[in-house]
Amino acid sequence: MASNAVNHLSATGDARVQVGNTIYQSENPCLAALRTTDPRHDKARIEGDKGGLMDDVYRWVLSTDEFLRWRHDEQNRLLWVKGDPGKGKTMLLCGFTNELAKEAGVLSYFFCQATDARINSATAVVRGLIYMLVDR
Protein backbone atom coordinates (compact mmCIF):
# COMPACT_ATOMS: atom_id res chain seq x y z
CA MET A 1 0.00 0.00 0.00
CA ALA A 2 1.41 3.37 -1.02
CA SER A 3 1.91 6.04 1.62
CA ASN A 4 0.55 9.56 1.14
CA ALA A 5 2.60 10.98 4.01
CA VAL A 6 4.97 13.89 3.49
CA ASN A 7 7.89 13.50 5.86
CA HIS A 8 9.75 16.70 5.01
CA LEU A 9 9.00 19.68 2.83
CA SER A 10 10.96 22.86 2.39
CA ALA A 11 10.67 25.84 0.09
CA THR A 12 12.60 29.07 -0.22
CA GLY A 13 11.90 32.46 -1.73
CA ASP A 14 8.39 32.74 -3.15
CA ALA A 15 8.03 29.00 -3.76
CA ARG A 16 4.65 27.33 -3.48
CA VAL A 17 4.16 23.60 -3.14
CA GLN A 18 0.77 21.89 -3.36
CA VAL A 19 0.12 18.57 -1.62
CA GLY A 20 -3.44 17.41 -2.21
CA ASN A 21 -5.70 20.40 -1.57
CA THR A 22 -3.18 22.19 0.64
CA ILE A 23 -0.82 24.81 -0.75
CA TYR A 24 2.36 25.43 1.20
CA GLN A 25 4.46 28.48 0.56
CA SER A 26 7.49 30.00 2.19
CA GLU A 27 6.70 33.02 4.31
CA ASN A 28 8.65 36.04 5.28
CA PRO A 29 9.67 36.17 8.96
CA CYS A 30 7.02 38.79 9.83
CA LEU A 31 4.18 36.67 8.45
CA ALA A 32 5.61 33.53 10.04
CA ALA A 33 5.70 35.24 13.46
CA LEU A 34 2.15 36.52 13.05
CA ARG A 35 0.67 33.25 11.89
CA THR A 36 -0.82 30.89 14.42
CA THR A 37 -3.19 29.56 11.77
CA ASP A 38 -4.28 30.39 8.24
CA PRO A 39 -8.05 30.96 8.30
CA ARG A 40 -8.28 29.74 4.69
CA HIS A 41 -6.85 26.38 5.72
CA ASP A 42 -9.16 26.21 8.73
CA LYS A 43 -12.17 26.93 6.49
CA ALA A 44 -11.14 24.21 4.04
CA ARG A 45 -10.59 21.75 6.91
CA ILE A 46 -13.98 22.55 8.44
CA GLU A 47 -15.73 22.10 5.10
CA GLY A 48 -13.91 18.79 4.55
CA ASP A 49 -14.69 17.52 8.05
CA LYS A 50 -18.39 18.21 7.45
CA GLY A 51 -18.42 16.36 4.12
CA GLY A 52 -18.15 19.42 1.89
CA LEU A 53 -20.22 22.50 1.34
CA MET A 54 -23.67 22.07 -0.21
CA ASP A 55 -24.60 25.18 -2.17
CA ASP A 56 -28.35 24.78 -1.70
CA VAL A 57 -27.91 24.90 2.07
CA TYR A 58 -26.84 28.55 2.04
CA ARG A 59 -27.80 30.06 -1.35
CA TRP A 60 -31.44 30.66 -0.34
CA VAL A 61 -30.28 33.07 2.37
CA LEU A 62 -28.54 35.29 -0.20
CA SER A 63 -31.88 36.50 -1.55
CA THR A 64 -33.67 37.13 1.76
CA ASP A 65 -34.65 40.69 2.65
CA GLU A 66 -32.50 40.61 5.79
CA PHE A 67 -29.37 39.54 3.93
CA LEU A 68 -29.91 42.01 1.09
CA ARG A 69 -30.49 44.83 3.57
CA TRP A 70 -27.23 43.92 5.32
CA ARG A 71 -25.32 43.78 2.01
CA HIS A 72 -26.44 47.23 0.93
CA ASP A 73 -26.65 49.13 4.23
CA GLU A 74 -23.45 51.16 4.59
CA GLN A 75 -24.29 52.15 8.18
CA ASN A 76 -24.94 48.73 9.72
CA ARG A 77 -22.20 46.26 8.72
CA LEU A 78 -23.01 43.66 11.39
CA LEU A 79 -24.62 40.40 10.34
CA TRP A 80 -25.53 38.34 13.38
CA VAL A 81 -26.02 34.62 12.78
CA LYS A 82 -27.05 32.75 15.89
CA GLY A 83 -28.25 29.29 16.74
CA ASP A 84 -27.57 26.25 18.84
CA PRO A 85 -24.46 24.12 18.24
CA GLY A 86 -24.73 21.84 15.23
CA LYS A 87 -27.44 23.83 13.45
CA GLY A 88 -25.28 24.81 10.43
CA LYS A 89 -24.04 28.31 11.28
CA THR A 90 -20.45 27.53 10.32
CA MET A 91 -21.35 25.93 7.00
CA LEU A 92 -23.71 28.81 6.24
CA LEU A 93 -20.87 31.26 6.83
CA CYS A 94 -18.47 29.18 4.75
CA GLY A 95 -20.91 29.65 1.88
CA PHE A 96 -21.22 33.38 2.60
CA THR A 97 -17.44 33.82 2.50
CA ASN A 98 -17.29 32.02 -0.85
CA GLU A 99 -19.93 34.34 -2.30
CA LEU A 100 -18.43 37.51 -0.82
CA ALA A 101 -14.94 36.54 -2.02
CA LYS A 102 -16.21 36.58 -5.61
CA GLU A 103 -16.98 40.30 -5.32
CA ALA A 104 -14.62 41.62 -2.65
CA GLY A 105 -11.18 42.93 -3.40
CA VAL A 106 -10.02 41.90 0.06
CA LEU A 107 -11.97 39.62 2.36
CA SER A 108 -10.79 38.51 5.78
CA TYR A 109 -12.60 36.01 7.94
CA PHE A 110 -11.91 33.75 10.89
CA PHE A 111 -13.70 30.66 12.15
CA CYS A 112 -13.57 29.93 15.88
CA GLN A 113 -14.27 26.44 17.13
CA ALA A 114 -15.01 25.67 20.75
CA THR A 115 -13.25 22.30 20.42
CA ASP A 116 -9.93 23.79 19.21
CA ALA A 117 -8.16 26.04 21.75
CA ARG A 118 -5.71 27.13 19.03
CA ILE A 119 -8.49 29.03 17.22
CA ASN A 120 -10.78 29.91 20.10
CA SER A 121 -9.47 33.17 21.54
CA ALA A 122 -9.66 36.87 20.78
CA THR A 123 -5.91 36.90 20.18
CA ALA A 124 -6.20 34.11 17.60
CA VAL A 125 -9.01 35.98 15.82
CA VAL A 126 -7.07 39.25 15.61
CA ARG A 127 -3.86 37.52 14.53
CA GLY A 128 -5.75 35.49 11.90
CA LEU A 129 -7.50 38.54 10.45
CA ILE A 130 -4.27 40.55 10.33
CA TYR A 131 -2.43 37.59 8.81
CA MET A 132 -4.97 37.39 5.98
CA LEU A 133 -4.78 41.13 5.31
CA VAL A 134 -0.98 41.21 5.29
CA ASP A 135 -0.71 38.03 3.24
CA ARG A 136 -2.83 39.58 0.49
CA distance linking residue 65 with residue 94, whole number of Å = 20
Confidence (pLDDT) at 80: 86
In contact, 23 and 135? CB cutoff 8 Å: no
Residue 17: predicted pLDDT: 65
Number of helices followed by number of strands (H, E) in the chain: 6, 2
H/E element, 94: helix 89-103
Task: Identify whether the C-beta of residue 14 lies closer than 8 Å to the C-beta of residue 1.
Answer: no
Query: Is-above-0.85 flag for pTM?
Result: no
pLDDT one-digit tens code per residue, 46-82: 899 888 888 887 888 888 998 888 888 877 778 888 9
62: closest CA among 92, 17, 90, 26?
A: 92
At residue 17, the 3 state secondary structure works out as: strand
What residues pair up with 25 in beta bridges, in sequence order?
16
Can you give the residue ranges of every domain in the chain? 28-135
Along the 136 residues of the chain, how does pLDDT read in single tens digits?
455 556 565 655 556 666 666 666 666 777 777 788 889 999 999 899 888 888 887 888 888 998 888 888 877 778 888 999 888 889 999 999 998 888 877 788 999 888 888 888 899 999 999 888 888 7
d(CA 110, CA 87) in angstroms, rounded, equals: 19
